[in-house]
């Protein structure tokens, strides 16, 4: 399609594009950006458009796909919450810094406490710790689901109490 004809037909569709962009973004500034992005992509691929087909549907499809792709990109980026009065979300391209508290905690006393637990609560607790679901534990140990949950709860409670005494 010739550039002048394409621009003419595109100009006739701008009202529809702006309305659809606002429906997607719910923000006038973002909607204008989306219309410009759609115009750029449509103009770059104007040779792929077949004359006689529905240009409005073609443009709206480009816009919708652009919106979805941009939305997915934004969702993947980590965000930081600013806890000032304005509560601004900040984009952060850096990875988060790990918590060093885990390194400071002495693991060997905890392992010793776990070993001291009775078998009936230690085994389900360790299985849950390794990532087994309650249903898998119940099936493996041939116990009712409620019993498994109860035993894991009791193991956590006992470990918590013993850790309080130590620390």
Size of the chain in residues: 167
Q: Which pLDDT belongs to residue 79?
A: 64
Domain 102-166 matching CATH 1.10.150.120: the answer reads: no
Higher pLDDT, 111 or 148: 148
Q: Is the CB of residue 80 less than 8 Å from the CB of residue 97? A: no
Q: Where are the domains of the chain?
A: 3-79, 102-166
CATH of domain 3-79: 1.10.1740.10
- pLDDT tens digit string along 74-89? 887 776 655 665 555 5
Mean pLDDT estimate for the chain: 83
In terms of phi and psi (left: phi > 0; alpha: psi -120 to 50; beta: otherwise), the region of 60 is alpha
């Amino acid at each position: 399609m010739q550039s002048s004809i394409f621009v003419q037909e595109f100009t006739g569709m701008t009202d529809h594009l702006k309305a659809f962009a606002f429906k997607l973004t719910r923000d006038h500034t973002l909607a204008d950006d989306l219309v410009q992005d759609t115009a750029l992509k449509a103009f770059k691929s104007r040779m792929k458009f077949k004359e006689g087909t529905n240009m409005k549907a073609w443009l709206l499809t480009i816009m919708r796909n652009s919106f979805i792709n941009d939305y997915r990109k934004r969702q993947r980026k980590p965000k930081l919450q600013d806890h000032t009065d304005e509560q601004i979300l900040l984009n952060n391209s850096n990875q988060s810094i790990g918590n060093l508290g885990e390194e400071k905690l002495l693991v060997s006393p905890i392992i010793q406490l776990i070993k001291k637990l009775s078998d009936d609560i230690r085994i389900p607790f360790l299985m849950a710790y390794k990532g087994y679901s309650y249903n898998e534990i119940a099936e493996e140990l041939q116990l009712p689901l409620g019993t498994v949950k109860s035993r894991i709860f009791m193991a956590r409670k006992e470990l918590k109490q013993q850790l309080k005494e130590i620390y």
